[in-house]
Structure 1
Amino acid sequence: MSHLRGIETFVKTVECGSIAAAARQLGITAAAASQNVARLEKELGTRLLTRTTRSQALTAAGEVYFARVGPILGELAQARSEISDLHHEVRGRLKIASWVAIGRHVIAPLLPAFIARYPKVQVEVMITDKNVDHLKDSVDVGIRSHHGLEAGLVARRIATVPMILCAAPTYLDLHGRPTEPENLNAHACLAFRMPNDGRLMEWPFLRAGERLAPKRNVVAASNDNDTLVAMAVAGGGIARLGSFVVNPLISQGLLEPLFLRQSGTGNTQSQADPEPMEFFVVYRDRHHIPAPVRAFVDFIVDALENHELLKEPAWPRMI
């Protein structure tokens, strides 16, 4: 067992980039992790890592050893997962990293039902709009929009979310209601700033099969959707928000949606519709999926299939 602990610590150290980071993932002290690697090197009779106070690197022997034992640890984890499945028991840790708005408004309220179904799964939730490193941050599964997809992660679409342009009735009564995307340049717009690259998120529309991103008069921006909501409700201008955020506020009369199709008019070629946003569940390896990850993916796909907050709000289009 000590040999296996040494291998696990060595592999985590290489993957995470440092002894300290590996120790955090394994739940042990940095001193204990260092001792595990040292014992492994002594048993093998060779140095696997060259370490200084600021950096580390694989030796030639370490590169060969890592290439061999890394996949073996994955196989062992998969074997444990499959044995648990045979006993109809899903157990273990599950760390979820979710984009903020959907995490707070959709994912978090669903988690108690998941935990009740799988009581032996220990759930941790990280809420951030920045793309996390699944390996270094020990994240098992992520919830991202299409803006956050990246190579190396398996992605499965879980929701197509209507994006609602909306404002407080007090603002619209004072400044008028835009009926075309081109009108937005004459209105106070509240924009979301992307945490990963600092860009302002576009407000794309679809019209007659063409995608357009109209000019806006951005008077304020934030990297937090709830801040934009508060500003919009207070009459600060027009915001573009997911249906799961604004539907309850629309039903209360605090916000009014714009650019919705009028009931009974059908689809017209001239109508400009806000482009929806797609959300995905992402994880690292399609071949070795731990039981808690597989259980969560199946659960969230089923839970979001007909979720009320992912529907376009009911409101007469005012033109």
Structure 2
Amino acid sequence: MQLVIRRYRPSDKDTVLTLFSAGTLEHIQPCFNNTISSPLYITITLALCVAGYLLGSVLGAVVLPGAWVGIVYCCCHEIYSRYVRNTLRTNMQDIPGNYLSRPDDCYWVAEAEVEGIAQIVGMVAVVGKQSGNEQYGELFRLIIAPTCRRMGLGIRLVQTVIDFCKEQGFSAVVLETSSTQQAAVALYKKLGFSLVLNQTNAAAPSWMLPPVMQLVIRHYRHSDKDTVLSLFSAGNLEHIQPCFNNAIFSPLYITITLVCVLLATSSALCWGQWCYQEPGWALSTAAVMRYIQVMSEINSRQTCRTSLGTI
């Protein structure tokens, strides 16, 4: 595949806007996964499951947490949909005026021939900014079409921005990205970007706070040893949580968890009811045998009801 990175042209507008919208809305699912797998949301989901079961039936144990998960997904969808709508109405509406009107700004597109037809498969932009006496470039709009990912295009686009900033005499390249965009964060770190600040944005939830990254590249020094070893350890140990999330949210583990919760709740209710009827249970072997017999009868009745319900 022959690929060319060139400056944006007005004729690219419709394709660029479509790629921007599709690329941004792809973050809805990772955002939802990151949210629903947080300890707080897991607790809320399980609590609603138990509450639904105690209030009525197994159906309630499914409906309540299901409705909650649906609400969370709708909220994640609205966050990104609103961002896309607002951006398309503002600075993306006039790309030449906002990204090409100054010599310190630029907007590039990646064009490739797909089945003999030239198509735009990626884009990136940079805006020159100044803070005091320091001039730096801020990277925006890095989006790549799904069909051209994992082919080195992201590296080429970011490197284009870095080379441009060097030509302009900028001291650094800065960008913002959310914690849910793991692939983008990995790409930036691979190119030498480092996290320099966590920016708090009151308009967004805590799991959406954008880490600000700045490019600083230099050779290893002996004084870096402790920091490098700590970073190595932390970087490897951070895979524990994704490993746990991947395991606990598999269909098998979710089923086992729900079954255990329902069985524990049912056993606790039956035990409490039986203890109320048999106050001397702790001192009587016969009482223990009576409890086992009652539980067997209850389980038999529950099995019958389930079997009839499925016929």
Question: How high is the TM-score relative to the length of structure 2?
Answer: 0.26
Structure that is richer in strand per residue: 1
Structure ranking higher on relative contact order (CA contacts 8 Å, 6+ apart):
1
